[in-house]
Amino acid sequence: MNSPQNTLRERKKAQARAHVLETAHALFHRKSFDATTVESICREASISKRTFFRYFSDKESLVFGQREERLATFVEFLAEHERVENPFDALRTATRVFGARYNSKKKRLLAQQRVVLSSPALLARERAIDGDWERAIAQAFSSRSGHSPEDDLWARVLAGAIMGVVRSTVTYWFERKCEDDLTRLGLDALDYLERGFPQRAHARE
């Protein structure tokens, strides 16, 4: 339909965008996100500030640029699968697919996460993005059964729990340098949700 890469205009645009992104991340690496001003990025990339904000809506979207597309991919995937599988099976399938995908991108993801961790604003934004995912999940599950308030509540609470375990799992994975198997961690977390959280021994005396 669109996303044409053929005309010279489009190619130049994409190239310029990529160039800005590259220099920006180089600067974030050298200094930190907060300590890097938009102006310095523009200087380095030989672009005007005004133009920068035509490419990127935010300074923050230098970091989270691809997330919207990722969400779209995920929503599509989920809508596809929840048609034939029950919610948890659909999520398990998603975990396998996306877990494998992330497992193979460890280096890039770790570098990105280093940037995110360096700025409170980015951490906040990350959580806000989780909210979008949560809403998407809730809607997928809510539309599968009737639309009574109870079903709606059930879907939203489940969606909240899912994003909660996903975020904490991924954070754990990052902290351990992505050495664990993300798919395994994710599937375990989903089992907790489906079958209930097991009690730990009460080790205090």
Site residues (vs a copy of itself, CB under 8 A): 83, 86-88, 120, 123-125, 127-128, 130-131, 134, 138, 144-146, 149, 151-154, 156-169, 171-172, 176, 185, 189, 192-204
Provide, rounded to whole angstroms, the least separation between the CB of residue 65 and a copy of itself.
17
Query: Please, where are the H alpha helices in the chain?
Result: 8-30, 38-45, 49-55, 61-64, 67-81, 87-103, 106-117, 120-142, 149-175, 182-195
- State the nearest-atom distance from the C-beta of 113 to a copy of itself, in Å: 15
What is the nearest approach in angstroms of a copy of itself to the Cβ of residue 143?
Answer: 9
Residues at the contact surface with DNA, assessed by CB under 7 A: 7-10, 12-13, 16, 36-39, 46-51, 53-55, 57-60
Looking at the Cβ atoms of 47 and 71, the one nearer to a copy of itself is 71
Please identify, using beta-carbon distances, which residue of 44 and 151 lies nearer to a copy of itself: 151
Q: Nearest distance from residue 34's CB to DNA, in Å?
A: 7
Dist CA 181 CA 36 (whole Å): 34
Distance CA 38, CA 53 (A): 9
Six-digit token string for 60: 């923050």
Identify which of 135, 140, 193, 124 has the alpha carbon closest to the alpha carbon of residue 162: 193
Distance between CA atoms of 68 and 164, rounded to whole angstroms?
A: 19
CB nearer to DNA: give 36 or 113: 36
